[in-house]
Amino acid sequence: MPKKTSQIEDRKLDGIQITLKENVQARGATTLLEDVTLINNSLPELNLEDINTETTFLNHKFSAPLLIEAMTGGTKEAGKINGNLATAAEALGLGMGVGSQRAALDSEAAAETYSIARKNAPNAFLVANIGGAQLRDLKIEEIRRLIDMIKADALAIHLNPLQELVQPEGEPRFRGVWDRISQISREVGTPVIVKEVGCGISREVATKLEIAGVSAIDVAGVGGTSWAAVEHFRALKRNLSEKALLGELFWDWGIPTAASIIEVKKAVRLPIVASGGVRTGLDMAKCIALGASITGMAQPVLAAAMESDKGVAGYLQRAVDQLKATMLVTGARDIKALGKVRYLVTGRLSDWKKMSQEEIRY
């Protein structure tokens, strides 16, 4: 077991270093948020101080519809990152997810790199995390341990078949995952959020997840960090040419974030977390207008989290201020009103919207 734990720690460290040092963002693909135009309101009848960004997600109050997305854990560096992210989340009244916690089941030291999140953020909305491909090996009691480790308000199950395919140590085995998600949703006693890691959720998958009883869906679409790209660089480092080629081929694979929001919103009535290439308050506003409940950011705050919680808080506060500005110029007093503002969809996103009207066939 120590050898396996060491391998996981090496992978976690690679994930941090490669994301910071290499360009692993989407290349030809985008979020398609650029195809959304919010309609200007020149007579908003509001002052900036009238704008209220507060919202509720899974029965927890947020000062703004923003979740720091899952990034890391399991290494000393990751502990520092999670500590800074959590401190910022607590200070701003936002939420935060931790990276996959499998390594923490076998290592007390690894567990501390996750539990620091609750230590630094006693009141924030925290999300535990485990991979769908790993569910077959875990008992319900172990899932509860992961939740208890950070006293989580929700559990994220991440679906990442492409990443598992490209990853040198990948486990691309997803048979039976839906059954396990259904069981966990029934038995674990904590809201379950199912999320992608950068390839988006389709309406077909969203429908199956709603049937499984999950509480929310995090679309995590194309347009931000490509984990196929991250694993491409990891494979190059290990001279695994076929794996590296696969990562290159599927670098931009998936459903753009804006398209995934439309797909999921059309298919189910569950709360939607919009993540994947969300970088600004304007991006956040567009996601809410399209139907998301809250938004998520990860890569933009990773470098800041290596240094201090203040850098993280500064970036996130800037994004919230940008959101407020967008709400003023669209005439939206609060988040509920922002979800009803008029907008225009053009370009490729218009094609996605038309396709989402078609009947789902299995």
CA atoms within 13 A on the CB side of 315: 23
Render pLDDT for 185-225 as a digit per residue (tens, 0 to 9): 999 999 999 999 999 999 999 999 999 999 999 999 999 99
pTM above 0.75, yes or no: yes
- CA dist 149 and 128 (Å) reads 8
Statement: residue 6 has pLDDT above 70 = no
pLDDT at residue number 94 = 98
- CA dist 161 and 216 (Å) reads 20
Render pLDDT for 229-256 as a digit per residue (tens, 0 to 9): 999 999 999 999 999 999 999 999 999 9
Statement: residue 3 has pLDDT above 50 = no
Domains in the chain (CATH in brackets) are 26-345 (3.20.20.70)
Render pLDDT for 150-194 as a digit per residue (tens, 0 to 9): 999 999 999 999 999 999 999 999 999 999 999 999 999 999 999
- Confidence label for 360 from pLDDT (cuts 50, 70 and 90): low
Tell me what percent of the residues of the chain surpass a pLDDT of 70. Answer: 97
Please enumerate in sequence order all residues whose Cβ is within 8 A of that of 6, keeping only pairs 6 or more positions apart, or say none.
none
Statement: residue 4 has pLDDT above 90 = no
Statement: residue 361 has pLDDT above 70 = no
Q: Are residues 305 and 311 in contact, defined by beta-carbon separation less than 8 angstroms?
A: yes
Find where tokens 């208890």 sit.
148
Burial of 197-232, coded b for 16+ CB within 10 Å and e otherwise, reads bbbbbbbebbbbbbebebbbbbbbbbbbbbbbbbbb
User: Exposed, middle or buried: residue 266 (CB in 10 Å: 0-12, 13-18, 19+)?
Assistant: middle
Please enumerate in sequence order all residues whose Cβ is within 8 A of that of 162, keeping only pairs 6 or more positions apart, or say none.
199, 227, 228, 250, 253, 254
Average model confidence (pLDDT) across the chain? 95
Statement: residue 50 has pLDDT above 60 = yes
pLDDT at residue number 1 = 40
Highest mean pLDDT among 15-19, 107-111, 145-149, 353-357: 145-149
pLDDT at residue number 362 = 52
Render pLDDT for 292-347 as a digit per residue (tens, 0 to 9): 999 999 999 999 999 999 999 999 999 999 999 999 999 999 999 999 999 999 99
- Confidence label for 9 from pLDDT (cuts 50, 70 and 90): confident
- CA dist 352 and 259 (Å) reads 6
pLDDT at residue number 11 = 82
Q: Are residues 217 and 291 in contact, defined by beta-carbon separation less than 8 angstroms?
A: no
Return the DSSP state at 200: -
The residue ranking higher by pLDDT, 263 or 13, is: 263
Highest mean pLDDT among 7-11, 13-17, 31-35: 31-35
Per DSSP, the three-state class of 28 is coil
The residue ranking higher by pLDDT, 331 or 15, is: 331
pLDDT at residue number 355 = 86
Render pLDDT for 80-106 as a digit per residue (tens, 0 to 9): 999 999 999 999 999 999 999 998 998
